[in-house]
Copies of this chain bind each other. A is one copy, B any other.
Amino acid sequence: MMNTLLLDCGSGGRASHRLIGEIFLRHFDNPVLRELDDAAKLELPHGRIAMSTDSYTVTPLFFPGGDIGSLAVHGTVNDVSMLGARPLFLTCAFILEEGLDMALLDRVAASMGAAARRAGVSIVSGDTKVVPRGMCDKLFVTTTGIGELLADPAPAGSRAKPGDAVLLSGAIGDHGLAVLGQRDSLSFLDGIKSDSAPLNAMVERLMLEVGDIHVLRDPTRGGLATTLNEIAGQSGVACEIDEESVPVHANVAAGCDILGLDPLYLANEGKLICIVPEKKAAAALRVMRESNYGTEATHVGEIIEPSLPHKSGQVILRTRIGGRRLLAMAEGAQLPRIC
């Protein structure tokens, strides 16, 4: 194999075929992918499915706790899961810069393959484009996932109801700070690792063992505060959360203090918000705490009837010192290119 990527590797000709065989087929191997047709032929148990797509442009490509490859698997597996679905198949489309170090591409593909196997999904089809040097930043990847819906009605952002409990699967802010620390070589952030992880096993247990899950949503870009605002807006409710009860690791809290960042707005890649009727909250928390990636799960707040002073779509934070303040949706990005 050559050491650096050539434009020819995106041509559809022999050079493309070698790239696919030597890197992608080797790391993603499965019978569907091996057919190498224009599309993958798939068998799903039924036709009620969830489908989601995300492009990944994170920089740097490798960071403590993960890399763009595993992130691209976890992120899309999680988005499909948030409809209460069992993710089954992924596609991946690479946009690569001419001159890319092939060993780096091989490491990313190996990480994607391993992440897919751990999450129990197959990468069934793909695409590779190579653009001339300077036309993209090393490597972008877009994954799309599909999965079978496990319940009808499915969890949805519009289904939060007054009286529901708001549960969070663990501590927030690690992913955003881990990427920032690596990118800007901030040594005081050493030791913070991304939480990038697949949440489908936890979701499947919530759906099948607890049931009646109203909302599942992973607080990625925009963080917990923005995601709760989205849910409150979609459901036409208000939401109150306790600052004290939201878990934040000590090193993340310290890093945020130094940088003037708010962990409530930092991206997470392995956490979910679960909104359930209050009577289901204890069972849901137990399942979350028993799951991988959910040991720090906790009850963080409630959905409430919108009535003055709490308007529909608003999120209220009960602060540590006993006050209440509005937690607005982020306007823009605290940190760009974290996913």
Contacts and interface: CB of A to CB of B under 8 A. Distances in A.
Contact of A156 (B35, B144, B148, B337): B35
A126 interface: yes
A47 B43 CA distance: 6
A144 B91 CA distance: 8
A137 B17 CA distance: 25
Nearest to A142: B142
Interface stretch (A53-61, A111-119, A316-324): A53-61
A165 interface: no
B144 A12 contact: no
Contacts of A325: none
Interface in A220-250: 220-222, 226, 230, 234
A89 interface: yes
Given A38-B82, A53-B127, A330 B14 contact: yes
A129 interface: yes
Interface stretch (A92-100, A287-295, A302-310): A92-100
Interface in A73-111: 78-80, 82-83, 85, 89, 91-95
A125 B35 contact: no
Interface of A is mostly: mixed
B38 A42 contact: no
A26 interface: no
A35 B85 CA distance: 16
A218 interface: yes
Nearest to A32: B51
Interface string A17-53: 1000000000000000001111111111111111111
A51 B89 contact: yes
A263 to B, nearest CB: 15
Copies in the complex: 2
Contacts of A222: 11-13, 16
Contacts of A125: 51-53
A38 B80 CA distance: 7
A48 to B, nearest CB: 6
A132 B142 CA distance: 18
Contact of A137 (B91, B136, B217): B136
Contacts of A154: 41
Contacts of A78: 38
Contacts of A46: 46-47
A218 B37 CA distance: 11
A51 B221 CA distance: 27
Interface of A: 6-17, 35-57, 78-80, 82-83, 85, 89, 91-95, 124-127, 129-132, 134-137, 140, 142, 144-146, 148-149, 154, 156-158, 217-218, 220-222, 226, 230, 234, 267, 329-334, 336-337, 339
26 contacts: A11-B336, A12-B220, A12-B226, A13-B222, A15-B331, A15-B332, A37-B217, A38-B80, A39-B51, A39-B52, A39-B79, A40-B50, A40-B51, A41-B48, A41-B83, A41-B149, A41-B156, A43-B47, A44-B47, A51-B89, A53-B91, A53-B142, A54-B93, A132-B336, A136-B136, A142-B144
